[in-house]
Amino acid sequence: MLLNKTLHSAHAPEWDDTNKSNQINANKSDNPLIWPVLSLLQSTNQSWKVHHLASELQAKGLMHNLDPLPEKDLFKRNFLLMNALYELQDILMPKQWLQVKAMEIQIFRIIPASADVQHIRDGALRDYYLDWANYDASVNVVREMLESFWSTYKEYIGVNIKLMHVGQALKVFELDETATDRDIRKQWRKLALKWHPDRDQGNAERFREVCEAWQTLKESL
């Protein structure tokens, strides 16, 4: 099945090192909207529309104006949200399917038969939103923006601002000092998804601990 074979290609959560000139490496730019979006999608069995998701995130104080020009602000907020949705789609596969359509966004616990076709059909659009070069801003501006979003999200979920010791953070990630950057990024997403409080058998305290560990480890990547 396609979903079992292609996820470790160009669309996988780990960023291809050969594309660093065109993409911002995930080490300090992981989209923090991934996790509150997951909470919203799992809060109901109904589908969402993109603008409804954006409104909910704004109401929670997790999404702010990104440009003084209204049309650019709308584009940038939409880009940030679509990037998070496609990142989350990759994270959830192959066990679950996140349907990403502007007017119909929904997580399916059982992958529909049409998922393979949708995944191939949406390839160009997914590539566009996963490439930060299309955000129309410099690398530093994007990094500063994502760090700002991370600060807001950490405060929202109650993450301790004081960074852990690297050794302690690696222990939380169930890794040792031989772990590579790729190992750390992969484990971050695995554990964040596992302990996300809105997932089955999730745990809010463990999720906060994993987020704190990530804040320490991403500084050394």
Give the pLDDT confidence of 127-171 residue by residue, as tens digits: 999 998 888 766 677 777 777 777 777 777 777 656 688 999 999
135 and 163 assigned to the same domain: no
Q: What is the span of the domain harbouring residue 211?
A: 158-221
Both tokens of 178, joined, read 């031989």
Q: Taking the CA atoms of 214, 215, 216 and 217 in sequence, report the sign of the dihedral they define.
A: positive
More confident residue, 34 or 2: 34
Average per-residue pLDDT in the chain? 81
DSSP character at residue 131: -
- Look at residue 221 in the predicted model and tell me its pLDDT: 72
The alpha helices in 96-173, defined as continuous H runs, are 115-121, 123-130, 139-157, 166-172
130 and 92 assigned to the same domain: yes
Q: What mean pLDDT comes out for the span 23-52? A: 80
Q: How many CA atoms lie within 13 A of 201 on its CB side?
A: 2
Instruction: Determine contact, residues 76/67, Cβ cutoff 8 Å.
Output: yes
100 and 164 assigned to the same domain: no
36 and 122 assigned to the same domain: yes
pTM value is 0.66
151 Cβ neighbours under 8 A, 6+ residues apart: none
107 and 169 assigned to the same domain: no
Q: In the structure, what pLDDT confidence band is assigned to residue 202 with cuts at 50, 70 and 90?
A: confident
- Residue 185 pLDDT > 50: yes
